[in-house]
Structure 1
């Protein structure tokens, strides 16, 4: 029986698939139909992945903020979703080995991460529910490709390519700048959702301890674009908040390259009339542009965008003051259109509540078979390792995880976690020293 080196670096004997039985502590409840999947990796594929490839030790340390078992993990809720449609909440694990053993035994399609409570969630059935209080959890942001469907033309539905993935990359850039420059956060990582989105996990202590009201305030600051309606003018307040003014400057070059040139969403004249011209305030300008495009149909989105200024310059005004006001409002409408097409729209529910659960990094997407890996510089969805490819790589390289396509992502995540733990240990040591100084 060949030895297998697993993703945590320990050697184990490859054995028969582990049992699918689960422990009986929390009650299983039906999972929403939207979360169920009838295709993708098989149960035996998932057993193999959990047994030999999933980085349980590193994920445990990331959630625990320390290599030594502690409250941040022993009191942390994890939920499991099964291909049967069951959804098992309020699991918690005191050690990395228990975490690994129980996930392997249950063999879920995926598992999700929740809050740290004042008591171990697995004891929930033996205490009063009112005694269970969520204490902290990472701040999480979720962005999804379906929010850009009105403007992406290269793909549709669940399909994602390197071109439309730029929408997600640009959104991540905007959020990163705000997290660092506006909130001073440093310890965050982006994780591929497995199909067409990305999740940001902010692990700074200041972020983790925010209550629900504070999380909503942070969300309101970031989530300026509540609805991305292509047929309605955004009409943001002026002057722009400094965060929006900065975001606009970051988005402008991407608007030209991604929206106007690559996606070209307004080449169709009817679509342009509905979703481009609806962003402007002046009826005369709108009618003149429609007439212009009717005489020269099928102009590209970039041509149409340039036409706006050309046609606007031909409109006569009764006074210089009205002319100045017209062009100020025209500029503002164009700025709002840049924001409407590219500024990130966040999933409100994911961020605003401490108790909200979200899929763990390195889970397998049940429909695509993709590993939900950390997002590296220049990442695109096709880069994500697939489970069936990893199984082939393991068989071909003598069962060495380090020789698989998963290894660069494991290394990146491990580097992030190690840096986070060092910072936490240093912070706790400094706090102890400060307390000692106060005693004197």
Structure 2
């Protein structure tokens, strides 16, 4: 299965590319080692200038997450995606609270809620800071980032669909967004490898001979 952070990234970015930027033709590709790539095949995307491409990738993508309430609609959509699996991801896979992760994370959220409720209307700034605190932690760990150099440059080296990774030997194959939970790229047999493809090609003449022999036998018996 893909890393859950990659699944978050694919779902968040695909929604943003389609609904926020209007790109219709998007092809997600497994990199054949780590990560994924999205090929945007719209004519308008291919004609964009580098400055516009850079604006799409986001100039603040690598800075510390600071959110303001209410969230921008695009961030709100991303938050809804992250919420679906964040507790299990952060506490179990990322292990960012070390010991007793689920209990500590639940206690932290309860404490934050209590602080929000205890803040009076005269200290709205503090209340806003507490309100976005949980979201900032989730976005820091899970919000997707564009690769700015790949996004803005037309001459940047890209992972071509169906190319072979020189170290893993795996083929870069398309990914179905609706089946992300069932995609296990590191599981044996889930992604084609160059040596396996070569073996299949070598076996083709033998299989064809066997098929022809079988057809000839049927003709003779008839």
> Which category of TM-score, normalised to the shorter sequence, fits these structures?
0.7 to 0.9
1:189 partnered with 2:19: no
Q: Which residue of 2 aligns with 1:172?
A: 10
Q: Contact 1:195/1:368 (CA < 8 Å) preserved in 2?
A: yes
Q: Which residue of 1 aligns with 2:55?
A: 217
1:370 partnered with 2:174: no
Of the three residues 294, 299, 303, the one matched with 2:100 is: 299
SS at match of 2:28: strand
Question: Structure 1 pair 393/250, CA: closer, same or farther in 2 (3 Å)?
Answer: same
1:334 Cα deviation (Å)? 0.5
Question: Structure 1 pair 173/366, CA: closer, same or farther in 2 (3 Å)?
Answer: same
1:398 Cα deviation (Å)? 3.9
Question: Structure 1 pair 322/398, CA: closer, same or farther in 2 (3 Å)?
Answer: farther
1:374 Cα deviation (Å)? 1.3
SS at match of 1:304: helix
SS at match of 1:191: strand
SS at match of 2:85: helix
1:255 Cα deviation (Å)? 1.0
1:391 Cα deviation (Å)? 1.9
Of the three residues 196, 200, 208, the one matched with 1:393 is: 200
Question: Structure 1 pair 323/353, CA: closer, same or farther in 2 (3 Å)?
Answer: same
Q: Contact 1:225/1:343 (CA < 8 Å) preserved in 2?
A: no
Superposed CA deviations along residues 281-316 of structure 1, whole A, max 9, x for unmatched, are xxxxxxxxxxxxxxxxx312x21111113345676x
Can you give the 5+ residue segments of structure 2 that lack an aligned partner in the other structure? 208-222
More helix by share: 2
1:322 Cα deviation (Å)? 5.8
1:248 partnered with 2:48: no
Q: Which residue of 2 aligns with 1:310?
A: 110
2:173 & 2:21 partners in 1: Cα distance?
A: 26
Structure with larger RCO (C-alpha < 8 A, sep 6+): 2
Q: Which residue of 2 aligns with 1:134?
A: none
Q: Which residue of 2 aligns with 1:152?
A: none
More strand by share: 1
Question: Structure 1 pair 307/323, CA: closer, same or farther in 2 (3 Å)?
Answer: farther
1:235 partnered with 2:59: no
Question: Structure 1 pair 236/395, CA: closer, same or farther in 2 (3 Å)?
Answer: same
Q: Which residue of 1 aligns with 2:150?
A: 350
1:325 Cα deviation (Å)? 5.4
Question: Structure 1 pair 243/319, CA: closer, same or farther in 2 (3 Å)?
Answer: closer
1:194 Cα deviation (Å)? 1.4
Question: Structure 1 pair 398/322, CA: closer, same or farther in 2 (3 Å)?
Answer: farther
1:179 & 1:399 partners in 2: Cα distance?
A: 47
Which protein shows a greater Rg? 1
1:259 partnered with 2:90: yes
Matched length: 200
Q: CA RMSD in A?
A: 2.8
Of the three residues 178, 184, 189, the one matched with 1:380 is: 184
Q: Contact 1:167/1:342 (CA < 8 Å) preserved in 2?
A: yes
Question: Structure 1 pair 358/313, CA: closer, same or farther in 2 (3 Å)?
Answer: closer
Q: Contact 1:370/1:384 (CA < 8 Å) preserved in 2?
A: yes
Q: TM-score, normalised by structure 2?
A: 0.78
Question: Structure 1 pair 381/308, CA: closer, same or farther in 2 (3 Å)?
Answer: same
Can you give the 5+ residue segments of structure 1 that lack an aligned partner in the other structure? 1-161, 228-232, 269-297, 401-440
